[in-house]
Chain A
Amino acid sequence: MKVEEKIALDAIKNDRESHIKLDQKICGTCRERMCIPVCPGHLYSLNEETGDMVVEYAGCLECGSCKIACIYKSIDWDYPADGCGVQYRYG
């Protein structure tokens, strides 16, 4: 099963605005891109056309791994707004 399909099983209420903001200037100089393998939702990718890093914040499981892994501090990460984000039914 693909990870997108797994995340689709979760109860997630999307915020209109992303709770994850990337500094493309910093991302542009990063060669390791550790955010990509670290994210359990596999939500980070590189847009080959624009060269920008993209994050699909809507599937975020709020673990914070990306924020910890990005030692260049490009990731401005906060919890989603009140009542938004993932709501675990099992946990």
Chain B
Amino acid sequence: MDKVDAIIVGGGLAGLTAAYHLATAGRQVILLERGDVPGSKNVTGGRIYVDPIKDYLPGIIAEAPFERHVVKEIITVLDDDASVQLEYANDRWRSEPYMSYTMLRATFDSWLAEKVSEKGAFVIPKKKVDDLLWEDGRVVGIKAGDEEIGAHIVIAADGALSFLAEKAGLRKPLEPRNYAVAIKEIYRLDEKTIDDRFGLQPGEGAANLFVGAITRGMFGGGFLYTNRDTLSLGIVVGIDDLSRQKNPVAASQLMEEFSARPEVQRWIRGGELKEYAAHIISEAGAGGIPKLYTGGMLVAGDAAGFSLNLGLTVRGMEFAVASGAIAAGVADEALAKGDLSATFLSRYEQKLKESFVLSDMETFRHTRDVLENKRLFTVYPKFLSELLAALFTIGKGKKEPLYTSAKAAARKYVLNWEGCKDLLSMRKM
């Protein structure tokens, strides 16, 4: 069988970055994407941090079609009928180089695909890969419908569900407790209205995180990002928790209730809903990473479980870009040596360990244990809300000293054995 140098499955950030580097190195590359164009099946929250990726997309990142650079972070903690909001703004984020940008994947990925094509890689859309081709226990290409295409190396960048990693025997079937489902709505609002509403200068953006009553005690939270002339509003809920509800509430219903909250309405009011999207997110951290290589094949991006929830920040896209670039580097070396064995390709894992990808995943290995604590979504938001209610409320009777009110709320919710354990568990972060 004729073989191309490399086949990359999936036109997301990992696949496109890998294709970009291999094509730059002069390799023959075919990238297969099942959507109409790269980006059309992809969803982000979302925002991307620039520093981790700029060396992996050298030269081109400066002209990337980002939405807005983030200058303020808003955290909203919600009780059933009350909320606390904290806004953190930092002047340093207002000047270049900017730390992070909001983005939309349909725009970004199709732009990156153009750059990849300019380098000489073949980006083929509307092509779903069904299976791998094997020879002597090694991957030697892919099967798409009736077509078979041979390749010296296959890079599986086929997303969080990665059927290819499963088919290659690199990972087990996905488990409910390791995944959350994200629903995202896009609201159209004009640029000036977004600037005024969020207190932003043109080009500046805001990120808002929501936690508490909106997930009805289940693992998860909400997010809102300002794009140029749209808002990305969404909710993330653990699949295991959604499955085990005593009186089941649908994920779509949670999204509807969330968008109806006054804390959300103040931002999206008058906006026109343009799109309703959903995607899964790996919440397993380092524990959810499959075997990353076998003879003739590497796994990158979401397909490799590279996603990290740190509570206040959730990262995946930087890992995708970095792992795609690192996979391309190792593939290029392997092609030069003519050694596509699993033994040689194991240096992919080594290089990921030397980079921030596996090193960050390892550092925050136990963060999940802390974030899984249901009290974060129930007890603490309630405590904060009741504490502030007690401090601010003036009735007709005698008001208790503030300390007495605060102590009562604290005793009820956090000054107990559970609270003590929670505090100790924070060391794992």
The answer, yes or no, to whether B185 is at the interface (CB within 8 Å) is yes
Contact B239 A40 (CB under 8 A): no
Return the CB mask of A78-91 against B: 1 if under 8 Å, else 0. 11111101111111
A38-B242 contact given A63-B280, A83-B126, A90-B230, CB 8 Å threshold: yes
Q: Once bound together, how far apart are the Cα atoms of A61 and B34, in whole Å? A: 14
Contact B176 A71 (CB under 8 A): yes
- CB nearest neighbor in A for B181: A65
A68-B280 contact given A9-B275, A89-B106, A91-B43, CB 8 Å threshold: yes
Return the CB mask of B252-282 against A: 1 if under 8 Å, else 0. 1101100000000000000001111111100
Q: Once bound together, how far apart are the Cα atoms of A61 and B41, in whole Å? A: 9
CB distance from B43 to the nearest CB of A (A): 5
Return the CB mask of B21-63 against A: 1 if under 8 Å, else 0. 0000000000000111001111110000000000000000000
Query: Which of B107, B242, B245, B249 has the most C-beta atoms of chain A within 10 angstroms of its own C-beta?
Result: B242
Q: Once bound together, how far apart are the Cα atoms of A45 and B174, in whole Å? A: 23
Return the CB mask of A34-49 against B: 1 if under 8 Å, else 0. 1011111110000000
Contacts of B104 in A (CB 8 A): 90-91
Q: Once bound together, how far apart are the Cα atoms of A62 and B324, in whole Å? A: 23
Contacts of B70 in A (CB 8 A): none
Contacts of A25 in B (CB 8 A): none
The answer, yes or no, to whether A76 is at the interface (CB within 8 Å) is no
A40-B183 contact given A90-B230, A91-B39, A91-B104, CB 8 Å threshold: yes
A62-B251 contact given A1-B256, A9-B274, CB 8 Å threshold: no
A87-B40 contact given A63-B279, A68-B176, CB 8 Å threshold: yes
Contact B248 A37 (CB under 8 A): yes
The answer, yes or no, to whether B105 is at the interface (CB within 8 Å) is yes
The A-B contact count (CB < 8 A) is 142
CB distance from A53 to the nearest CB of B (A): 15
Contact B126 A82 (CB under 8 A): yes
Contact A65 B276 (CB under 8 A): no
Contact A88 B41 (CB under 8 A): yes
A88-B126 contact given A40-B252, A71-B176, CB 8 Å threshold: no
Contact A61 B127 (CB under 8 A): no
Q: Once bound together, how far apart are the Cα atoms of A19 and B208, in whole Å? A: 36
- CB nearest neighbor in A for B235: A40
Chain A stretch 7-55: residues in CB contact (< 8 A) with chain B: 7, 9-10, 32, 34, 36-42
Q: Which of B41, B251, B279 contacts A38 (CB under 8 A)?
A: B251
Chain B contact residues: helix, strand, loop or mixed: mixed
Return the CB mask of B171-183 against A: 1 if under 8 Å, else 0. 0001110010111
Chain B stretch 323-351: residues in CB contact (< 8 A) with chain A: none
Q: Which of A3, A78, A87 contacts B256 (CB under 8 A)?
A: A3
Contacts of A42 in B (CB 8 A): 250-253
- CB nearest neighbor in A for B277: A88
Q: Which of A6, A69, A79, A88 contacts B106 (CB under 8 A)?
A: A88
Interface residue range, chain B: 35 or more
Q: Which of A7, A36, A62, A83 contacts B250 (CB under 8 A)?
A: A36
The answer, yes or no, to whether B145 is at the interface (CB within 8 Å) is yes
Contact A10 B273 (CB under 8 A): no
Contacts of B161 in A (CB 8 A): 64, 67
CB distance from B177 to the nearest CB of A (A): 10
Q: Once bound together, how far apart are the Cα atoms of A10 and B40, in whole Å? A: 11
Contact A34 B242 (CB under 8 A): yes
Q: Once bound together, how far apart are the Cα atoms of A1 and B275, in whole Å? A: 13
Contact A40 B181 (CB under 8 A): yes
The answer, yes or no, to whether B186 is at the interface (CB within 8 Å) is yes
Q: Once bound together, how far apart are the Cα atoms of A34 and B218, in whole Å? A: 15
Query: Which of A37, A42, A91 has the most C-beta atoms of chain B within 10 angstroms of its own C-beta?
Result: A91
Contact A88 B230 (CB under 8 A): no
A-B contact list, 14 entries, CB within 8 Å? A1-B273, A6-B273, A9-B274, A32-B243, A38-B251, A62-B278, A65-B179, A65-B278, A67-B174, A68-B176, A69-B243, A79-B128, A87-B41, A88-B41
